[in-house]
């Protein structure tokens, strides 16, 4: 008969957090193994005053947080668990959770052993207890890498290559968070479907990450017109989003990229594909808009 080593704990595979430059905004990204538990948590944690928004992206829960500390008036069934503290230093982000009953187990032992946690402080949990925990995580930056034009009419597929490179460069310092295919306006010189790619990382070493990604992209691309762009920042600018939408609506001049004035944006490989590579960046995890095929009029 099979045995279960710890029948009342479901461990989160990984937890990471990114902060903006000022430390005023934090995105907590929790990779989950149990979808029911994650949905329950998202539903209740959204009621915490420090949580500005919650969304599910693939097998991750994304919490947009603001720093602070609050007392939560927990109540069984109605508000049994939440986030009660967020603090940001130069090197770390600390998040405090609290819950009652099973919510306390989720707040403590389920998260304490997750990959990405530097250290933790947990109360005993289980049964009807109210229990809390504080987790300390590395303060990471968001890095978006946009790529276009890696294949030919005979072979290759950009979306697969980009995913495999992202898997190859992820590690303890750089967590691979998401992969988004972006439908562009179907220009005449496209390979076939006219899409570009953006992958998202949470990292403590953005320059090294981008350098390793470029090395593998240069090694495996089949095209001499590959474009690669890197955006290091919490949220892409409105100007970058408008540029991306224009590339979805119709053909644009390569000069549009050169005229973008954004200190967070860096062109790494300046082939013809740079138009689509930069256009993909603001659509990371925005799958519905990213995949929309525009007719050039809207």
Q: What is the CATH number of the domain that holds 241?
A: 3.30.70.2200
Q: What is the mean pLDDT of the chain?
A: 94
pLDDT per residue as tens digits for the range 153-184: 667 789 999 999 999 999 999 999 999 999 99
> How far out from the chain centre does Cα 288 lie?
16
Domains held by the chain: number: 2
Q: Which two tokens stand for residue 31?
A: 């990779």
Q: Where are the beta strands (DSSP E) in the chain?
A: 14-19, 26-31, 51-57, 60-65, 68-69, 81-88, 92-100, 119-122, 130-148, 174-183, 195-203, 227-232, 265-270
pLDDT at 69: 98
Residue 244 lies in a domain: yes
pLDDT per residue as tens digits for the range 6-42: 999 999 999 999 999 999 999 999 999 999 999 999 9
pLDDT at 229: 98
Residue 1 lies in a domain: no
Q: Which two tokens stand for residue 60?
A: 């991750």
pLDDT at 254: 77
Residues 6+ apart with CB under 8 A from 255: none
> How far out from the chain centre does Cα 141 lie?
10
Residue 203 lies in a domain: yes
CA distance 41 to 49: 15
Residues 126 and 169 in one domain: no
pLDDT at 255: 82
Q: What count of other Cβ atoms lies within 10 Å of the Cβ of residue 253?
A: 9
Q: What count of other Cβ atoms lies within 10 Å of the Cβ of residue 124?
A: 10
CA distance 174 to 297: 40
pLDDT at 185: 87
* Sign of CA pseudo-dihedral 111, 113, 116, 120: positive
Domain encompassing residue 245 = 149-291
Q: Predicted confidence band at 82 (pLDDT cuts at 50, 70, 90)?
A: very high
Based on its alpha-carbon atoms, the radius of gyration of the chain, rounded to whole angstroms, reads: 21
Residues 6+ apart with CB under 8 A from 51: 45, 63, 64, 65, 82, 83
Q: Predicted confidence band at 259 (pLDDT cuts at 50, 70, 90)?
A: confident
According to DSSP, the β-strands at 81-88 and 227-232 are unpaired
Residues 119 and 159 in one domain: no
Residues 162 and 182 in one domain: yes
pLDDT per residue as tens digits for the range 260-275: 989 999 999 999 899 9
Residue 144 lies in a domain: no
Q: Predicted confidence band at 256 (pLDDT cuts at 50, 70, 90)?
A: confident
Residues 157 and 133 in one domain: no
Whether the pLDDT of residue 220 is over 80: the answer is: yes
pLDDT at 191: 53
Residues 158 and 197 in one domain: yes
* Mean pLDDT, residues 216-232: 96
Q: Which two tokens stand for residue 298?
A: 């809207």
| Number of Cα atoms under 13 Å in the Cβ half of residue 48 | 31
pLDDT at 187: 67
| CA-to-CA dists, residue 194 to 70, 109, 250, 272, angstroms | 48, 46, 12, 13
* Mean pLDDT, residues 213-220: 98
Residues 125 and 83 in one domain: yes
Residues 130 and 157 in one domain: no
Q: Predicted confidence band at 298 (pLDDT cuts at 50, 70, 90)?
A: very low
Residue 5 lies in a domain: no
Residue 218 lies in a domain: yes
Residues 154 and 230 in one domain: yes
**Torsion angle in degrees (nearest 10) through CA of 225, 202, 292, 216:** 20
Q: Which two tokens stand for residue 269?
A: 């490989």
Residue 216 lies in a domain: yes
Question: Where is the domain boundary, 139, 157, 185?
Answer: 139
- Whole-prediction pTM: 0.95
Q: Predicted confidence band at 83 (pLDDT cuts at 50, 70, 90)?
A: very high
Residues 158 and 286 in one domain: yes
pLDDT at 252: 86
What's the start-to-end Cα distance of the chain, in Å? 61
Question: Where is the domain boundary, 114, 139, 164?
Answer: 139
Residues 24 and 122 in one domain: yes
Residue 223 lies in a domain: yes
Residues 68 and 118 in one domain: yes
pLDDT at 27: 98
Question: Where is the domain boundary, 75, 108, 139?
Answer: 139
Q: Predicted confidence band at 2 (pLDDT cuts at 50, 70, 90)?
A: confident
pLDDT at 153: 60
* Mean pLDDT, residues 58-83: 97
Q: Predicted confidence band at 186 (pLDDT cuts at 50, 70, 90)?
A: confident
């Amino acid at each position: 008969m099979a045995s279960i080593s710890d029948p009342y704990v479901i461990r989160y595979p990984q937890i990471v957090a990114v902060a903006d430059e000022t430390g005023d905004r934090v995105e907590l990204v929790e990779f989950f193994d149990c979808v029911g538990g994650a949905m329950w948590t998202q539903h209740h944690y959204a009621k915490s005053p420090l949580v500005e928004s919650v969304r599910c992206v693939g097998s991750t829960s994304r919490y947009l947080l603001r720093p602070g500390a609050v007392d939560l008036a927990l109540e069984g069934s109605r508000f049994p668990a939440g986030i009660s503290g967020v603090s940001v230093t130069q090197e770390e982000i600390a998040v405090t959770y609290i819950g009652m009953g099973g919510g306390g187990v989720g707040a403590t032992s389920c998260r304490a052993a997750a990959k990405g946690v530097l250290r933790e402080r947990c109360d005993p949990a289980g049964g009807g207890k109210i229990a809390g925990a504080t987790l300390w995580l590395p303060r990471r930056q968001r890095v978006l890498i946009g790529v276009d034009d890696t294949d030919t009419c005979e072979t290759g597929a950009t979306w697969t290559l980009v995913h495999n490179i992202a898997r190859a460069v992820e590690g303890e310092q750089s967590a691979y968070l998401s992969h988004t295919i972006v439908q562009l306006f179907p220009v005449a010189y496209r390979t076939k479907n006219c899409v570009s790619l953006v992958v998202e990382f949470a990292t403590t070493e953005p320059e090294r990450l981008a350098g390793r990604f470029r090395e593998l992209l240069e090694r495996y691309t089949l095209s001499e017109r590959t474009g690669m762009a890197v955006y290091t920042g919490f949220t892409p600018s409105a100007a970058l989003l408008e540029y991306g939408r224009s590339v979805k609506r119709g053909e644009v001049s390569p000069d549009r990229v050169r005229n973008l004035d954004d200190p967070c944006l860096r062109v790494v490989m300046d082939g013809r594909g740079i138009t689509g590579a930069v256009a993909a960046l603001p659509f990371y995890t925005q799958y519905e808009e990213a995949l929309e095929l525009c007719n050039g009029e809207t």
